[in-house]
Amino acid sequence: MTDLNPGTRSLASSIDLDATPEQVWEMIATGEGLARWFPIEARVTPGVGGEIWFSWGKGVMEGAARIVAWDPPRRLVSEWGGMHDTYTIESAGGTTTLSVVSSGFGEGGDWDDMYDSVRTGWMFELGGLQHALAHHPGQDRDVVRVVRRCAPDREALAAMVLEDALAPGVDLGAARVGDQVDLELDGLGRIAARVVVGNQPRDLALVTPSLNNAYWRVMLEAPCGGSPEPAMDATLWASTYGLDAPAREQLGRAINATLDRLLGGAGAPVAITPS
């Protein structure tokens, strides 16, 4: 494959999916498909010269990537800010593999932080794609998310949220993929969950069968786009499928109240979805 950004670093990720190449293409190359696992909203103008518009919420993160290669259902390349994402779909033996190469990373501290953030992001986003295709094929997603901005560093925030707090009796900071845990959500009680992706003490993903196999992320990270003051964001995010609006609103209130308890009331909500 031609190096789209010579002299820079690239990052490769891949995942095996129980789906056809056409199904995977729909998930990466249509607005409806992307919104089932990646951004909260998406629009796609197909073909070379078109664009992919993403939004994780106004004031959180949104923007557009220009499409520079379009070869359904095999290859898609998008460009944003001088960087490229190359999606390649290959099928063999009944399994479809999606590979993503992000290229254009420079050198230095800020680039290192971005490289690590993108590496972690693809780990969890591709896990969400695999989950959506396996458990909710063709089903739209509704996101329930609370972001709380706090002053402590990541280690302090991890201690407040992950260590025997969100899941009493379990140190989520040391949990392994496959471990069964019980989340303690204020107003909802204990909810059985299973760890499916781990990158502690920064992020982990869980699945909650009793909430129609919702896919959860717990994220402890620097604010997207920076912050005028030293800060970290604590985010609890649930990708839900088939939950009605009252159930999602109740879940949002429970997440917000839980973060209130874990953080001792510190930090104002930055984003609550649904609002």
Tens of pLDDT, residue by residue over 200-215, are 878 899 999 999 999 9
Cβ(78)–Cβ(84) below 8 Å: yes
pLDDT at residue 45, rounded to an integer: 98
Residues forming beta bridges with residue 103, ordered by sequence position: 10, 84
Residues forming beta bridges with residue 71, ordered by sequence position: 75
pLDDT mean over 110-129: 92
pLDDT mean over 182-197: 96
pLDDT at residue 226, rounded to an integer: 59
Distances in whole angstroms, Cα of residue 152 to Cα of each of 45, 83, 163, 218, 222 = 41, 32, 15, 16, 11
pLDDT at residue 100, rounded to an integer: 98
Assign 152 a pLDDT band (cuts: 50, 70, 90). confident
pLDDT at residue 1, rounded to an integer: 46
pLDDT at residue 56, rounded to an integer: 87
Tell me the longest C-alpha to C-alpha distance in the chain.
54
Task: Kindly report which listed range (3-17, 88-102, 169-183) carries the lowest average pLDDT score.
Answer: 3-17
- Ramachandran assignment for 125, one of left (phi > 0), alpha (psi -120 to 50 degrees), beta (any other): alpha
Structure tokens at 203: 């992020």
pLDDT at residue 266, rounded to an integer: 67
Helix count (H) and strand count (E) of the chain?
A: 5, 14
Higher per-residue confidence, 225 vs 105: 105
Higher per-residue confidence, 3 vs 139: 139
Q: What is the pLDDT of residues 64-98, one digit of tens each?
A: 999 999 999 999 999 998 899 999 999 998 899 99
Q: Residue 149: what residue type?
A: R
CA distance 221 to 241: 26
The per-residue pLDDT of the chain, averaged, comes to 91
Distances in whole angstroms, Cα of residue 17 to Cα of each of 98, 135, 141 = 7, 12, 19
CA distance 119 to 151: 25
pLDDT at residue 6, rounded to an integer: 65
- Ramachandran assignment for 260, one of left (phi > 0), alpha (psi -120 to 50 degrees), beta (any other): alpha
Q: What is the pLDDT of residues 193-248, one digit of tens each?
A: 999 999 887 889 999 999 999 999 999 988 766 555 678 889 999 999 999 999 99
What domains appear along the chain, each with residue ranges and CATH number? 9-135 (3.30.530.20), 142-273 (3.30.530.20)
Cβ(44)–Cβ(27) below 8 Å: no
Question: Is residue 262 scored above 80 in pLDDT?
Answer: yes
The four Cα atoms 263, 268, 270, 273 give a dihedral, to 10 degrees, of 70
Question: Is residue 3 scored above 70 in pLDDT?
Answer: no
Task: Provide DSSP, 194-212.
Answer: EEEEEETTTEEEEEEGGGT
CA distance 154 to 80: 29
Q: Which of 213, 60, 45 is nearest to 128 (CA)?
A: 213
Question: Is residue 164 scored above 70 in pLDDT?
Answer: yes
Cβ(256)–Cβ(272) below 8 Å: yes
Whose tokens are 């919420």? That residue is 57
Question: Is residue 162 scored above 50 in pLDDT?
Answer: yes
User: With pLDDT > 90 as the criterion, what percentage of the chain qualifies?
Assistant: 73
Mean pLDDT: which of 66-75, 106-115, 143-152, 247-256 is highest? Answer: 66-75
CA distance 22 to 166: 39
